[in-house]
């Protein structure tokens, strides 16, 4: 498929997903359509995408302004030779999701790291494959998709553990599922009496906002239990007019939005960019929730920012933007114990490999 924003199917979220760029030939055609010449070495590109596949929706590709690693969108999704440079401290499983010693993954599709909430992973598929993803060893691999039996086991586990008050749908990206599948999952969760909240973690509002359809919004809004949407915007360029409009259609239905960003070198590691990101999110009624210190994912050293710089950026923003627009700056510990706030006195209580 050639890259064509004027295609009448452009606003169909399924078309966006089905026609994503997944190989070098398609990427070269898209670059050519944008008036750019590609300079990728085929052998190296194949090595990069064998280790971690590529996926880019036409919409998200259209947000690229400079077709090189200086562009914040390009940098997040186009494979880089730097990914082959694995540092000693980097890990395949950087937050110990898979560590049997932790005992936090009782089922294939369930992670129970915190006493009163669990992660439910119904799919390993994403609309785009971010080069910094902490689950890059899993996402895109259909072997990690949940079967009906896997989901049934998860529902049974949640019912048996009455201390669980919140279920967080993650993956992969739950919104890559069709409406029927999502509706079935949400309604099964709503039947569990001791659950108080449902959360959906998704990148689609940033990379394929057309997924926020009125039909799915109505399904979510009709549930008796509150459903929070946790989005993933990393740069102001991702907050497009259409993204804001699509989110607003759901906000008007009473669906609340949060945002989790990752601090990334060359993407958002300046106080001005972060200010524009957080204020832009507030303008479209999305609450900045977390700013993540990038995990020690293999081949992502070129994207990580030192913790001390992250703290300095947060200090610069303190007072520059309203308190409700300032997210928590957190580190997800490699030992699987969960997130640690990095601001202020918390920073002195931990040792980080990049100090």
Q: Is 133 a catalytic residue?
A: yes
Longest dimension (CA), the chain: 57
Q: Which of 52, 130, 199, 347 is catalytic?
A: 130
pLDDT at residue 344, rounded to an integer: 59
Q: Is 339 a catalytic residue?
A: yes
pLDDT at residue 160, rounded to an integer: 98
The domain segmentation of the chain, as residue ranges, is 1-355
Query: 1-355 adopts what CATH topology?
Result: TIM Barrel (3.20.20)
Q: Is 92 a catalytic residue?
A: no
Q: Is 52 a catalytic residue?
A: no
Q: Is 295 a catalytic residue?
A: yes
Vertex 88, ends 267 and 349: CA angle to 5°? 70
**Residue 237 · residue 72 · CB < 8 Å:** yes
pLDDT at residue 100, rounded to an integer: 63
Q: Is 105 a catalytic residue?
A: no
Question: Distances in Å between the alpha carbon of 20 and those of 55, 58, 120, 154?
Answer: 6, 6, 25, 31
Q: What does each of the 355 residues of the chain score in pLDDT, given as a tens digit?
A: 667 889 999 999 999 999 999 999 999 999 998 888 877 899 999 999 988 999 999 999 999 999 999 999 999 999 999 999 999 998 888 887 766 666 788 999 999 989 999 999 999 999 999 999 988 877 878 888 999 999 999 999 999 999 999 999 998 999 999 999 999 999 999 999 999 999 999 999 999 999 999 999 999 999 999 999 999 999 999 999 999 999 999 999 999 999 999 999 999 999 999 999 999 999 999 999 999 999 999 999 999 999 999 999 999 999 999 999 999 999 988 776 778 888 754 445 444 444 4
Q: Which of 188, 225, 316, 339 is catalytic?
A: 339
Predicted TM-score (pTM) of this structure? 0.94
């Amino acid at each position: 498929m050639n890259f064509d924003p004027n295609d009448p199917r452009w606003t169909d979220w399924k078309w966006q997903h089905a026609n994503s760029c997944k190989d070098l030939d398609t990427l070269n055609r898209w670059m050519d359509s944008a008036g750019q010449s590609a300079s990728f070495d085929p052998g190296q590109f194949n090595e990069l995408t064998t280790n971690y596949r590529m996926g880019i929706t036409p919409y998200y590709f259209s947000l690229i302004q400079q077709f090189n690693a200086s562009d914040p969108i390009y940098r997040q999704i186009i494979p880089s030779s730097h990914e082959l440079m694995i540092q000693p401290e980097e890990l395949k499983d950087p937050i110990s999701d898979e560590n049997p010693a932790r005992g936090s993954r009782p089922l294939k599709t369930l992670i129970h790291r915190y006493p009163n909430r669990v992660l439910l992973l119904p799919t390993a598929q994403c609309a785009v494959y971010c080069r910094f993803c902490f689950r890059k060893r899993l996402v895109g691999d259909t072997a990690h998709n949940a079967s009906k039996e896997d989901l049934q086991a998860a529902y049974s586990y949640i019912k048996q553990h009455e201390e669980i008050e919140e279920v967080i749908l993650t993956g992969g990206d739950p919104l890559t599922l069709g409406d029927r599948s999502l509706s079935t999952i949400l309604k099964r969760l709503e039947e569990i009496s001791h659950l108080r909240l449902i959360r959906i973690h998704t990148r689609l509002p940033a990379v394929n906002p057309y997924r926020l359809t009125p039909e799915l919004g109505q399904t979510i809004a009709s549930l008796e239990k509150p459903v929070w949407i946790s989005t993933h915007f990393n740069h102001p360029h991702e907050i497009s007019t259409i993204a804001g409009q699509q989110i607003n259609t759901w906000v008007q239905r009473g669906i609340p939005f949060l945002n989790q960003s990752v601090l990334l070198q060359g993407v958002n590691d300046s106080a001005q960019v972060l200010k524009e990101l957080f204020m832009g999110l507030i303008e479209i009624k999305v609450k900045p929730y977390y700013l993540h210190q990038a995990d020690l994912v293999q081949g992502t050293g070129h994207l990580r920012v030192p913790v001390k710089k992250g703290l300095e950026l947060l200090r610069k923003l303190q007072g520059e933007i309203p308190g409700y627009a300032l997210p928590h700056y957190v580190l997800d510990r490699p030992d699987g114990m969960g997130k640690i706030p990095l601001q202020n006195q918390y920073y002195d209580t931990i040792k980080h490999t990049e100090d």
